Chain A
Amino acid sequence: MKNILFILFSTIGLSLSAQVGIATPTPKAMLDVNGNINFRGKLIVRNAADGKLLEGGDDQLLVSQGAGLAPTWKSLRIPDYEANKFYLIYNNSFSDRVGTTFTSSEEPTIASRSASFTKNSNISNFSQFKKIPGLSQTFNVYSTESKTYFQFETVIQANFANVGTTDTSIDYACGIFVDDKLVNLRQGNLKAVNSTNPFLTHNQIGLAQNLTKGAHSVSVACSRLKSYNVPAGITLGVGTNVSDNIDSFISQSSFKVDVYEVPQVFNAITN
């Protein structure tokens, strides 16, 4: 009997159209193995889209495609972590079209900017700074070894008339605050020119290192610091327009938060 079968398999191959059971008289699938399976080679699956037989690319995993379809090989979008290296863990971005405006009476009195605008100083020490509403957000840090990168962009505008050679300008500053403590501040100056209602794009990049694990708040607050030869009634807008030569769509702010971490806690990807 064994001989007969051997001859059958080795000469013409085994071909069956009925369901086959291994160690079961009642197979419930085309091949039903009532026991374990040993693979000595690779598992190859048929791709439903083009009928090709796929061994899978390097580092791919077998993923179910549901009943009636062969499972398929998929790449995992997760890095292989190496020790002591930073990985991008949290990444978010926000926008705001409300912005904030400042009249000439909203300028702080500051003796020394360098002495006042110090890192880690609380926002309560920053008189006449106003937050941009939509950029007050929270983010999470999951490792004690981390770097947080902030990128802020907005448009600053003043409703200056056209001015010749006189220096008519306004100093302003924007600060990035984490848990209401300053991490980064940049100043700028908007100058009146020979066209009305000038504006500029303000770019700012800030960094915070090794924040504590857990949730943190972040916000961007700006201030009108000082005016030079500015007539009464001039308004400064940050992240908003103060004249209709631009609008709030053009002047909107964008704020990106990236957290790079050396991972310390790992979780299983399945449950």
Chain B
Amino acid sequence: MKKLLLLNLFFLAIFSNAQIGINTSTPVNTLDVNGDLNVRKEIRIGASSATKGTAGAKGTIFHNNASLNVNDWKNVKVADGMGSMSLFSMNSTFDKIGVGFTGNNGAISPYPENMDITTNWSVLTGTVTTFSVTNTTNKVTFAFQTTAQKTVNANTTNANASMSFACGIFVDDKLKAVRTDVLLGADGTNKIFNLNATLTNIEIKNGYTVKVACTKRNLNGGTIGIGRAVNTEFLNADMSQSALTTSVLQPF
């Protein structure tokens, strides 16, 4: 059989409208090769019954354009300087729910790096997202902004006493960056809280989880809202919302 076909393929052109399968009895395209393909000369694409296809200029790449019914050759160039350290992925998440704290004062000691998240921390649920790192040389940057607002301080003689809090960035539930801040003033006082941080050369991993969580420090008897309005005379949910941008930088 092989000899017979060889003979025929060698001497004759095959005219057929049927589908041909190599190593398959159920071809699903015009030529279906169930195995590897050796090509000893150029591949030409965009051929017709009248013309040969094009072999592409040297250096061009086999490319698919969904609006063409044939493949084409694409000349791909990159700007000088690209690839040294470039944006690999970027994502922004936001949260309008926020977190609120009231009751007793929280702990005011600093927070150790890589600390596991505890129940003292409340997650800004909308900020939770994932990112991946695929190169041992990498930078991961976080830019977080929210609004914090206080109410009146109930149990002190000074109704305008300070209230403090901390917000941190947790990667796989371990603390990677944190800043603390203090609100001073009358009921409804609010301020912008910023946290920008850079991690360097973290381990390669598909699917890190990142989230922002906040905790109370000194409340002095009041209520504090982070990413949430606790006195709606001055703030609404859009004004108090939180945003987290995560960027992964890598060479390629």
Footprint of B on A, CB under 8 Å? 1-2, 5-6, 9-11, 13-23, 25, 27-44, 53, 55-62, 73, 76-78, 81, 87-95, 140-143, 151, 153, 155, 193-195, 198-199, 201, 203, 244-247, 249-250, 252, 254-256, 259, 261, 263-270
Q: Is the CB of A9 within 8 A of B20?
A: yes
Looking at the assembled complex, report how far the CB atom of B180 sits from the nearest CB atom of chain A, in whole angstroms.
6
Q: Given A53-B29, A61-B64, A198-B182, 15 more contacts at CB 8 Å?
A: A5-B14, A20-B5, A28-B38, A31-B37, A33-B37, A34-B40, A61-B74, A93-B141, A194-B161, A203-B194, A250-B111, A250-B178, A268-B59, A268-B78, A270-B61
Residues in B neighbouring A247, C-beta threshold 8 A: 110
With the chains together, A44 CA to B19 CA distance in Å? 14
Contacts of A40 in B (CB 8 A): 46-48, 53, 70
Size of B's binding interface in residues, CB under 8 A:
99
Check B25–A13 contact: CB distance below 8 A: yes
23 cross-chain CB contacts under 8 A: A10-B18, A14-B16, A16-B5, A25-B6, A30-B35, A30-B36, A32-B38, A33-B39, A38-B44, A39-B53, A39-B71, A42-B64, A43-B71, A88-B86, A92-B249, A93-B198, A201-B195, A249-B111, A249-B113, A255-B198, A259-B81, A261-B81, A267-B78
In the complex, chain A residues whose CB is within 8 Å of the CB of B69:
41-42
Tell me if B25 and A22 are in contact (CB < 8 A): no
Most A CB atoms within 10 A — which of B55, B76, B82?
A: B82
B38: contacting residue among A31, A55, A265, CB under 8 A: A31
Q: How far is the CB of B45 from chain A (nearest CB, A)?
A: 4
Could you tell me if A29 and B70 are in contact, using CB atoms closer than 8 angstroms?
no
Q: How far is the CB of B172 from chain A (nearest CB, A)?
A: 17
Q: Is the CB of A21 within 8 A of B37?
A: no
Q: Are A143 and B141 in contact (CB under 8 A)?
A: no
Contact between B196 and A151 (Cβ–Cβ < 8 Å)? yes
Q: Given that A93-B139, A143-B80 are contacting pairs, would A61 and B62 also be in contact in the complex, using a CB cutoff of 8 Å?
A: yes
CB distance from B251 to the nearest CB of A (A): 10
Set of chain B residues within 8 Å of A55, measured between Cβ atoms: 64
Contact between chains at A195 and B162 (CB < 8 Å): yes
Given A5-B12, A13-B25, A78-B82, A39 and B34 contact (CB-CB distance below 8 Å): no
